[in-house]
Amino acid sequence: MNPAFARYGDIPGLVILYGLFIVVLGFFVYRAYRLYGFLRLGGKEDRFDHLGKRTILFFIWVLGEWCTLRSVSRKDRAGIGHFIMFWTFILFFIHYGYLFTWGAWHDSRLFNLANPFSVIFLSVLDFLALLSIVAVVWALIRRYIRKPERLETNLEPAMILILVFLLMVTHLVGEALNVNLLRETSGSVIRVAFAHAFDGLSQSALTTSYIIIWWVHLLIFLGFMVYIPYSKHLHILTALFNVFFRSVRPKGALIPINIETADRLGVEKIEEFNWKQLLDLYACAECGRCQVSCPAFLSGKALSPQELIKNLRIHLIEKGMSKGKPTLQLIGDTISEEKIWDCLTCYACQEQCPVCNEHIDKIMELRRNLVMVRNKIPETAERALRTTMMRGDPWTGALHLRTDWSEGQKIKKLSKAEHGEILYWVGCTGALDERSMKMTLAFAQLMIQASISFGILGAEESCCGDPARRMGQELIFQAQVQRNIETLKRYHVKKIVTICPHCYNTLRNEYPQFGGEFEVVHHTEFVAALITGGKLSPSIGVKKKVTYHDPCYLGRYHGIYKAPRAILSSIPELQFVEMKGNKRESFCCGGGGGHMWLEENTGKRVNVMRTEEAIETGADIVVTACPFCLQMFEDGIRKKHLQESIEVMDITELLQKAI
Partner 1 sequence: MESNREILVCGEVADGKMTTTTRELLSMGRRLGDGLHQSLNALVIGKDLQEVAKEAILFGADKVYSVDSASLLEFHPDYYTTIMGKVCQQIVPSIILLGQTDMGRDVAPRLAAKLGIPVTLDCTELNIDPVTKEILQTKPVYGGNAMAVWVTESNQPQIVTMRPRSVMADEPDPSRKGEIIAFSVRIDDSLMKSKLLETVKEEVKGIRLEEAKVIVSGGGGIGSSDGFKLLGELAKALGGTIGVTRVPCDEGWMSVNLEIGQTGHIVGPDLYIAVGISGASQHMAGCSSSKFIVAINRDPEAHIFKEADFGVVGDYRDVLPALIFRLKELA
Partner 2 sequence: MHTIICAKEVPNPEIPPGKFKIDPEAMRAIPPEGIAPVMNPYDERAVELALRLKEKYGGKITVLSLGSPASVSGVKHALSMGADEGVVLADHGFEGSDSFGTAYILTRAIQKIGNYDLILCGRQAADWDEGLVGSIIAENLSLPLVTLVKAIEVVDGRLKVDRVTLDGYQTFSVPMPAIATVSNEVGRPRLPAGWGIISAARKQVPIWSGRDIDADPSKMGAGVARRKLAQLFIPERKSKCEVLQGETTADAAIKLAERLRESGVV
Which positions touch partner 2 (CB under 8 A)?
259, 262, 265-266, 368, 371-375, 377, 379, 382, 385-387, 389-392, 396-403, 458-462, 473-476
Minimum CB distance to partner 2, residue 431 (Å): 11
Minimum CB distance to partner 2, residue 396 (Å): 7
Secondary structure element (H or E) that encloses residue 423, with its range: strand 422-425
Q: Is 397 in the site for partner 1 (CB under 8 A)?
A: yes
Minimum CB distance to partner 2, residue 366 (Å): 14
Give whichever of 333 and 434 is closer to partner 2, judged by the CB atom. Answer: 434
Work out what residue 152 binds among partner 2, partner 1, none; the CB cut-off runs from 5 to 8 Å by kind. none
**Is the sign of the CA dihedral 344, 350, 351, 353 positive or negative?**
positive
Give whichever of 398 and 536 is closer to partner 2, judged by the CB atom. Answer: 398
Give the distance, in angstroms, between the CA of residue 26 and the centroid of all CA atoms in the same chain: 35
In whole angstroms, give the CA distance from residue 201 to residue 180.
9
Give whichever of 223 and 458 is closer to partner 2, judged by the CB atom. Answer: 458
- What percent of the residues of the chain are helix, what percent strand, and what percent coil, each to the nearest 5? 55, 5, 35
Closest among 327, 332, 314 to 268, alpha carbons compared: 332
Stretch 426-455: interaction string toward partner 1, x if CB under 8 A: --------x---------------------
Total of chain residues touching partner 1, rule CB under 8 A: 4
Give whichever of 397 and 534 is closer to partner 1, judged by the CB atom. Answer: 397
Q: Any idea what the Cα angle at residue 492 is, between residues 491 and 494, rounded to 5°?
A: 120
Minimum CB distance to partner 1, residue 638 (Å): 9
Question: Distances from the Cα of 135 to the Cαs of 91, 122, 313, 580, 599, in angstroms?
Answer: 16, 19, 29, 29, 45
Give whichever of 333 and 379 is closer to partner 1, judged by the CB atom. Answer: 379
Residues 6+ apart with CB under 8 A from 525: 560, 563
**CA 261, 265, 271, 277: dihedral to nearest 10 degrees?**
90
Residues 6+ apart with CB under 8 A from 644: none
Work out what residue 475 binds among partner 2, partner 1, none; the CB cut-off runs from 5 to 8 Å by kind. partner 2
Give whichever of 378 and 564 is closer to partner 1, judged by the CB atom. Answer: 378
Work out what residue 373 binds among partner 1, partner 2, none; the CB cut-off runs from 5 to 8 Å by kind. partner 2
8 A C-beta contact, residue 142 and residue 136: no
Minimum CB distance to partner 1, residue 280 (Å): 40
Secondary structure element (H or E) that encloses residue 366, with its range: helix 359-368
Stretch 482-521: interaction string toward partner 1, x if CB under 8 A: ----------------------------------------
Work out what residue 377 binds among partner 1, partner 2, none; the CB cut-off runs from 5 to 8 Å by kind. partner 2
Give the distance, in angstroms, between the CA of residue 430 and the centroid of all CA atoms in the same chain: 29
In whole angstroms, give the CA distance from residue 93 to residue 241.
17
Residues 6+ apart with CB under 8 A from 603: 299, 300, 301
Give whichever of 145 and 399 is closer to partner 1, judged by the CB atom. Answer: 399
Three-state secondary-structure class, residue 435:
helix
Measured in degrees and rounded to the nearest 5, phi and psi for residue 454 equal -140, 165
Give whichever of 98 and 597 is closer to partner 1, judged by the CB atom. Answer: 597
Give whichever of 434 and 517 is closer to partner 1, judged by the CB atom. Answer: 434
Residue 568 CB-density burial (10 A; 0-12 exposed, 13-18 middle, 19+ buried): buried
Minimum CB distance to partner 1, residue 379 (Å): 8
Give whichever of 379 and 573 is closer to partner 1, judged by the CB atom. Answer: 379
Work out what residue 434 binds among partner 2, partner 1, none; the CB cut-off runs from 5 to 8 Å by kind. partner 1
Minimum CB distance to partner 2, residue 657 (Å): 26
Stretch 371-390: interaction string toward partner 1, x if CB under 8 A: --------x-----------
In whole angstroms, give the CA distance from residue 333 to residue 270.
12
Radius of gyration of the chain (CA): 30
Minimum CB distance to partner 1, residue 606 (Å): 19
Query: Parallel, antiparallel, or unpaired: how do β-strands 545-548 and 575-576 relate?
Result: parallel
Work out what residue 394 binds among partner 1, partner 2, none; the CB cut-off runs from 5 to 8 Å by kind. none
Q: Is 399 in the site for partner 1 (CB under 8 A)?
A: yes
Minimum CB distance to partner 2, residue 29 (Å): 42
Give whichever of 145 and 399 is closer to partner 2, judged by the CB atom. Answer: 399
Q: What is the 3-state secondary structure (H, E, C) of 521-555?
A: EEHHHHHHHHHHCCCCCCCCCCCCEEEECCCCCCC
Work out what residue 285 binds among partner 1, partner 2, none; the CB cut-off runs from 5 to 8 Å by kind. none
Question: Distances from the Cα of 392 to the Cαs of 19, 434, 484, 520, 591, in angstroms?
Answer: 70, 18, 10, 21, 20
Minimum CB distance to partner 2, residue 53 (Å): 34
Minimum CB distance to partner 2, residue 508 (Å): 24
Give whichever of 643 and 645 is closer to partner 1, judged by the CB atom. Answer: 643
Q: Which of residues 86-105 bind partner 1 (CB under 8 A)?
A: none
In whole angstroms, give the CA distance from residue 447 to residue 501.
18
Minimum CB distance to partner 1, residue 399 (Å): 6
Residues engaged in binding partner 1 (CB under 8 A):
379, 397, 399, 434
